[in-house]
Amino acid sequence: MTFSVLLTASIALCGHAFTMSPSLSSRTNVIDIVGASSSLSRTNQQKQQGQRPHSQLNMFTGIIEEMGQVLSLETKDNMTLWDGSKGSGTEMTVKGGVVMDGAYLGCSISVNGVCLTATELDFDNNIFKVGLAPETLRKTNLGSYGPSSEMTTVNLERASEIGGRNSGHFVQGHVDDVGTIVDQWIDENSLFFKISFPSEFMRYIVPKGFIAIDGTSLTVCDVTSEGEGGENWFTFMLVEYTQKKIILPSKKIGDTVNVEVDVLGKYSERAWEAVVPKMEALESKVIELETRLRELEGGNVGAPSSGSGSGESVNSVAAIAGDIIVCTANQYGSNRQ
């Protein structure tokens, strides 16, 4: 699977898209002029209505823009569902200045590495609200935040703009699981962390690979993966500048962090799973061909050069070889798609 395919699939996950159209004066693709005009019109309308304009956005980079404060974490029983009925749910209220710039109802904001949807916006006080689904509470540490908790500060990042720079890596905001800080130490001006993590995700974590910790794009240093029942941990370090821009240095041994592994590793694994059965079938054909060739060579020792048996064996081997060629061609073609 090519990088472009992986990138396209990743972009599709967030459900955002942008339109490209051929220019009338050249073969170069340009942003649709009509779409751009409509966007400009919407921007002017938003300004007249006192709303802040927004642009087409997509995914995250893991470069934290600011640290915000959790003002409340409430469970409500009167939330209106799609059919008009009432249900219970959890709502978090967060204060943050930078992420309010360009925010709009329904936009995505990363809170401690979790992609959440803005449901209410208060631009005067720089406050926004997000809903926390049961799955979010099960997979992340956001349920432990709130005014009555020791943890009230969270990392915040707006979704990245299409075509903009990415100084981190492709972060979806889809946390895989919670890790636990088991050790931390200082190495000159660097701050190291050692994180214990569930064994089923350790195959996606490699030395010098990407990892998102509480939404921060970081580089893995060391990895130990012994499977279920053994030790499973990885380390990373924070440079001096990063230490002052994110919440991690305020955490201690025993605290938890939201961990998202590099999604490209998952896509690569899925692509490889599709290839393996075809490779095994090809290998089986090759073994069969080798066996028949040995039988043919053994049967021809001291035998006449012409004979129906020899001809049939040759034809049989040729047929197997043909099957291998077809199998290989199909394999190549499927990988090209």
Could you give the percent of the chain with pLDDT greater than 70?
Answer: 70
- Say which DSSP state 97 is in: S
Distance between CA atoms of residues 132 and 279, nearest Å = 43
pLDDT digits (tens, 9 = 90+) for 262-292: 888 888 888 888 888 888 888 888 888 888 8
The DSSP bridge partners found for residue 92 are: 73, 130
Query: How confident is the model over 42-69, as a mean pLDDT?
Result: 64
Residue 67 has pLDDT above 60, yes or no: yes
* Mean pLDDT over each residue of the chain, to the nearest integer: 78
Cα distances (angstroms) measured from residue 296 to each of 282, 292, 308, 309, 317: 21, 6, 13, 10, 9
pLDDT digits (tens, 9 = 90+) for 16-42: 333 333 333 333 333 332 333 344 444
The per-residue pLDDT for 313 is: 57
Beta strands in the chain (DSSP E): 20-22, 29-31, 66-80, 86-95, 108-111, 114-122, 127-132, 153-158, 177-187, 190-196, 210-213, 216-225, 232-238, 256-261
Distance between CA atoms of residues 33 and 35, nearest Å = 5
Q: Whole-model pTM above 0.85?
A: no
- Say which DSSP state 165 is in: -
The confidence band for 46, taking pLDDT boundaries of 50, 70 and 90, is very low
Residue 63 has pLDDT above 70, yes or no: yes
- Hey, which of 20-34, 49-63, 138-152 has the most confident mean pLDDT? 138-152
Distance between CA atoms of residues 159 and 250, nearest Å = 25
The confidence band for 316, taking pLDDT boundaries of 50, 70 and 90, is low
pLDDT digits (tens, 9 = 90+) for 328-337: 556 555 554 5
At residue 112, what are phi and psi to the nearest 5 degrees? Answer: 55, 40
Could you give the percent of the chain with pLDDT greater than 90?
Answer: 47
The per-residue pLDDT for 141 is: 94
Query: How confident is the model over 128-145, as a mean pLDDT?
Result: 94
User: Residues 8-31, buried b or exposed e (16+ Cβ, 10 A)?
Assistant: eebbeebeeeeeeeeeeeeeeeeb
The per-residue pLDDT for 299 is: 64
Cα distances (angstroms) measured from residue 113 to each of 117, 142, 213, 222, 293: 13, 10, 7, 22, 59
The confidence band for 1, taking pLDDT boundaries of 50, 70 and 90, is very low
Catalytic residue positions, numbered: 60, 108, 115, 117, 133, 174, 219
DSSP string, 38-88: HHHHHHHHHHHTTPPP---B--B-S---EEEEEEEEEEEEEEE-TTS-EEE
